[in-house]
């Protein structure tokens, strides 16, 4: 075999491995790596601003995917510390590459359920329906009262929404919760 053939085989194996890693991570989490559109990211930013996010806040993006929302948050809140967490290797490395010139961004590869979010002043996520109930319980244990949580597209079905933005359409709607978000079946205070 020639050098070109070895190179071609190696390139195909790398591409196959990367695609397999995406499928495996989606199988484990139930969530494909999603990328938010600019209008969706603008809705998330607007809701965090509406919630009064402090200038020097720590904001977590759970399941940061390819980095689009992390980048929008970093630009909208330049003095905040934006911390993205992504389990899937390929989107994580792409996001690292995309955010390399943003000094207020730090990315971590791993499962956000293994992270300590007690210092969070805000949380965002763009996940799917399946992990939302487990995530709600996790946030109940982690977040200080009054922490704004913005979910893009997939809502916490058993929690009361404090505000929402639907400019991106029904699939791109963003919902703000003030944690601990009151359960929908609980009496109002």
Tens-place pLDDT, residues 113-166: 999 999 999 999 988 778 889 999 999 999 999 999 999 888 888 899 999 988
Element (H, E) at 152: strand 147-152
62 contacts: CB under 8 Å, gap ≥ 6: 85, 112, 123, 124, 125, 127, 135
* Segment 69-93 mean pLDDT: 94
- What dotted CATH number matches 38-179? 3.40.50.150
* Partners of 106 in beta bridges: 83
Residue 31 binned pLDDT confidence (cut-offs 50, 70, 90): low
Nearest to 44 by CA among 88, 65, 66, 74: 74
For residue 24, pLDDT over 80 is answered with: no
Residue 148, pLDDT score? 96
The Cα-based distances of 44 to 40, 159, 177 in angstroms read 6, 18, 12
pTM of the shown model: 0.82
Residue 82, pLDDT score? 98
Is the separation of the CB atoms in 145 and 172 below 8 Å?
Answer: no
Per the model's pLDDT, the better-predicted residue between 33 and 158 turns out to be 158
Residue 55 binned pLDDT confidence (cut-offs 50, 70, 90): confident
Residue 139, pLDDT score? 95
């Amino acid at each position: 075999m020639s050098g070109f053939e070895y190179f071609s085989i190696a390139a195909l194996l790398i591409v196959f491995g990367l695609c397999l890693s995406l499928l495996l991570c989606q199988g484990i989490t139930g969530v494909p790596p999603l990328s938010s559109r600019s209008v969706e990211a603008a809705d998330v930013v607007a809701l965090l601003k509406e919630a009064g996010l402090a200038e020097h806040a720590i904001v977590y993006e759970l399941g940061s995917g390819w980095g689009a929302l992390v980048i929008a948050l970093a630009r909208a809140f330049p003095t905040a510390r934006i911390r993205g967490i992504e389990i899937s290797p390929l989107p994580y490395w792409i996001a690292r590459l995309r955010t390399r010139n943003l000094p207020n961004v730090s990315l971590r590869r791993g499962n956000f359920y293994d992270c300590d979010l007690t210092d969070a002043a805000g949380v965002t996520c763009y996940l799917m329906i399946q992990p939302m109930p487990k995530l709600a319980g996790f946030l109940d244990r982690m977040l200080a009262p009054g922490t704004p949580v913005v979910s893009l597209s997939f809502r916490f079905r058993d929690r009361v929404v404090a505000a929402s933005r639907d400019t991106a359409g029904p699939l791109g709607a963003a919902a703000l919760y003030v944690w601990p978000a009151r359960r929908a079946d609980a009496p109002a205070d």
